């Protein structure tokens, strides 16, 4: 069998690995050199050579665990049974031991580094289930269950700069931790720990683009949480009580978009009102809690100061309403007063959320820097990425609509813009603000966002830029849209794709959207002209593109194929 010669990056993008002709001793191929990537020369994990190496390592570890005996002793007192049976027995014993055995084989510095990466780039953005200070303290004391650390490492390893992981491509580093974690998972063990592990494995599957596996793990976690009544579960400390509340609301938020992706009903019970006793506390007082705090109802109310996680929960409830409304638009072909009424109601919900925020929670560079200095910059950014993205979902269908699609609230000759024009401009404004926020985060220490949902929201914002490039009548918006589109491509392909395989799916949706735009931008279809905004009218296909992420819209992406070249050409 011929040993693979391509580097990990070129193998992942399914392209030939080309080495500089002028420098045969170069440590990097041309592609990795061009984009400043770490060029890893080794056979792929999971391949024949990798499995062979693992077998050799297992064999060596088994020999090391067997008692040392002289050759004479071995001859005089042979071990009963074949040697393969002894090896199988040792392997079974090793596998049956607590996961701490495997975890403790990793240096403590690496464990702390991975836990730090998890809290920096995953926690409070994907979900919120832990109290960082006490969790990191428990790690140093070897008090965190091994299965939980394995699940965390599977997500965090891609972001580590530790030399222990340097030989593996970032997006592949978590796989061995995921496999080890799943081998220890026992779904019959109904506990908070199992809920946490299932959420983490669901997040891993989401980052891999494995929608079905993601939904299965999230469903397991949600059902367990409901079975245990996690929200009201008896707790021994305020930290435990708060982490239970946060895990519950994390599952409620996850349920909204995870169930939508696979077109299945939601499983978490809907709460008509946010009970103040069950609202997560402010982030900074929460982080200041000790691990053994007594329960203090009086102290509970004094800690509610501009909580970031609570704002996520409130926004997510609006998202659920927007998704349901978009589904109704698809099923009932809403138009006229019915469409106008639904949009106005949801628009007021978004506006009410925004105006209710205190000044310290406004989207300003100063507030972002303030939160970032306290380790909460990425969480602050996640709140507003949600707001701008949800707003685009509501207004997106008006980008190419006509005045007939919305009831005539424009007033004719009273100087007011038609409602559909106002909504279209709001969509463009929110898309621009989302892009600018991500750019600002990248330039702010401790605020760069790298969880996989960033790729998706950037793709949706990029579709708005593509629409502007195709249909804008003046040069300034075209120039701004082109610059944003180019910047977005750089972030998606260079900053996110190396870490998350799911980014391929996001890019394929962008390609599908672009193809649809070209089909409707003229070409004699329906008598429309390339410069006419009416040539692009949102229909059921595009609503499914936004709401359901249908599988058949996600053709296998190729960075260098003609479709990608066409997308790149729009930004040049």
pLDDT tens digits for range 193-204: 999 999 999 999
42 pLDDT more than 80: no
Burial of 540 (0-12, 13-18, 19+ CB in 10 A): exposed
Q: Between residues 112 and 29, which one has the greater pLDDT?
A: 112
CA distance linking residue 203 with residue 254, whole number of Å = 10
pLDDT score at 407 = 42
Percent of the chain with pLDDT over 70: 71
* Listed residue (178, 184, 180, 183) closest to 200, CA to CA: 178
* Listed residue (341, 322, 331) closest to 546, CA to CA: 322
Angstrom CA distances, 558 to 450, 509, 528, stand at 22, 12, 31
pLDDT score at 72 = 34
Tell whether the torsion through CA atoms of 61, 67, 69 and 73 is positive or negative. negative
260 pLDDT more than 90: no
With beta carbons less than 8 A apart as the criterion, state whether 433 and 392 touch.
Answer: no
Burial of 143 (0-12, 13-18, 19+ CB in 10 A): exposed
CA distance linking residue 201 with residue 208, whole number of Å = 11
User: What residues form DSSP beta bridges with 406?
Assistant: 336
CA distance linking residue 554 with residue 227, whole number of Å = 36
pLDDT score at 515 = 73
Who's near 13: CB < 8 A, 6+ residues apart?
31, 559
pLDDT score at 49 = 60
pLDDT score at 2 = 61
Q: What is the mean pLDDT of residues 354-359?
A: 93
Q: How crowded is the C-beta side of 124, counted as CA atoms within 13 Å?
A: 30
- So where are the chain's domains? 1-63, 101-291, 335-570
Burial of 397 (0-12, 13-18, 19+ CB in 10 A): buried
User: Selecting from 3.90.25, 3.40.50, 3.30.1300, 4.10.240, what CATH number does the domain 1-63 have?
Assistant: 4.10.240
Q: Kindly report which listed range (209-218, 392-401, 466-475, 533-542) carries the lowest average pLDDT score.
A: 533-542
pLDDT tens for 460-475 read 999 999 988 888 889 9
pTM of this structure:
0.77
With beta carbons less than 8 A apart as the criterion, state whether 383 and 308 touch.
Answer: yes
pLDDT tens for 172-200 read 999 999 999 999 999 999 999 999 999 99
DSSP sequence for 249-281:
HHHHHHHHHHHHHTT----SPPPSS--GGGSPP
Q: Between residues 422 and 62, which one has the greater pLDDT?
A: 422
404 pLDDT more than 50: no
């Amino acid at each position: 069998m011929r040993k693979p010669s391509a580097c990990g990056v070129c193998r992942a993008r399914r392209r030939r690995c080309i080495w500089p002709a002028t420098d045969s001793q170069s440590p990097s191929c041309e592609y990795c050199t061009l984009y400043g990537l770490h060029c890893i020369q080794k056979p792929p994990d999971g391949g024949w050579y990798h499995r062979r190496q693992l077998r050799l390592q297992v064999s060596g570890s088994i020999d090391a665990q067997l008692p040392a005996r002289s050759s004479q002793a071995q001859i005089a007192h042979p071990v009963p049974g074949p040697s393969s049976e002894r090896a199988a027995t040792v392997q079974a014993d090793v596998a049956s031991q607590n996961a701490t055995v495997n975890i403790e084989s990793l240096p403590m510095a690496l464990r702390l580094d991975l836990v730090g990466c998890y809290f920096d780039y995953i926690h409070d953005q994907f979900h919120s289930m832990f109290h960082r200070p006490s969790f990191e303290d428990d790690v140093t004391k070897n008090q965190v269950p091994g299965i939980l650390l394995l699940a965390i490492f599977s997500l965090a390893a891609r972001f580590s700069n530790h030399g222990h992981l340097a030989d593996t491509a970032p997006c592949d580093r978590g796989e061995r931790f995921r496999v080890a974690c799943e081998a220890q998972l026992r779904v019959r063990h109904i506990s908070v720990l199992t809920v946490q592990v299932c959420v983490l494995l669901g997040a891993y599957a989401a980052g891999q683009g494995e929608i079905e596996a993601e939904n299965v793990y999230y469903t397991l976690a949600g059902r367990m949480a409901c079975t245990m009544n996690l929200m009201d579960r008896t707790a021994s400390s305020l930290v435990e009580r708060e982490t239970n509340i946060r895990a519950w609301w994390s599952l409620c938020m996850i349920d909204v978009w995870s169930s939508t992706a696979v077109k299945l009903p939601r499983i978490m019970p809907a709460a008509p009102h946010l009970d103040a006793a069950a609202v997560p506390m402010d982030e900074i007082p929460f982080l200041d809690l000790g691990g053994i705090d007594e329960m203090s109802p009086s102290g509970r109310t004094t800690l509610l100061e501009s909580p970031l996680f609570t704002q996520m929960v409130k926004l997510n409830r609006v998202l659920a309403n927007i998704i349901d409304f978009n589904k109704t638009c698809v099923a009932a072909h809403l138009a006229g007063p019915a469409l106008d009424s639904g949009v106005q109601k949801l628009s007021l919900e978004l506006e009410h959320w925004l105006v209710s925020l205190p000044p310290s929670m406004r989207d300003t560079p100063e507030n972002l820097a303030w939160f970032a200095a306290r380790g909460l910059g990425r969480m602050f950014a996640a709140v507003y990425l949600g707001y701008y993205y949800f707003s685009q979902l509501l207004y997106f269908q008006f980008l190419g609509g006509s005045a007939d699609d919305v009831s005539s609230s424009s007033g004719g000759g009273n100087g007011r813009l038609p409602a559909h024009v106002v909504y279209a401009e709001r969509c463009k404004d929110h898309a621009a603000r989302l892009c600018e926020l991500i750019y600002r985060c990248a330039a702010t220490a401790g605020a760069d966002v790298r969880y996989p949902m960033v790729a998706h929201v950037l793709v949706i914002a990029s579709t708005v830029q593509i629409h502007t490039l195709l249909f804008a009548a003046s040069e300034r918006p075209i120039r701004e849209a082109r610059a944003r589109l180019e910047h977005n491509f750089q972030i998606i392909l260079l900053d996110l794709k190396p870490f998350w395989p799911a980014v391929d799916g996001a890019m394929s949706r962008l390609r599908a959207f672009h193809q649809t735009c070209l089909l409707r931008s003229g070409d004699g279809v329906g008598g429309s002209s390339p410069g006419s905004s009416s040539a692009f009218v949102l229909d059921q296909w595009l609503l499914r593109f936004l709401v359901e992420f249908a599988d058949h819209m996600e053709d296998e992406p190729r960075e260098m194929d003609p479709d990608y070249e066409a997308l790149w050409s729009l930004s040049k």
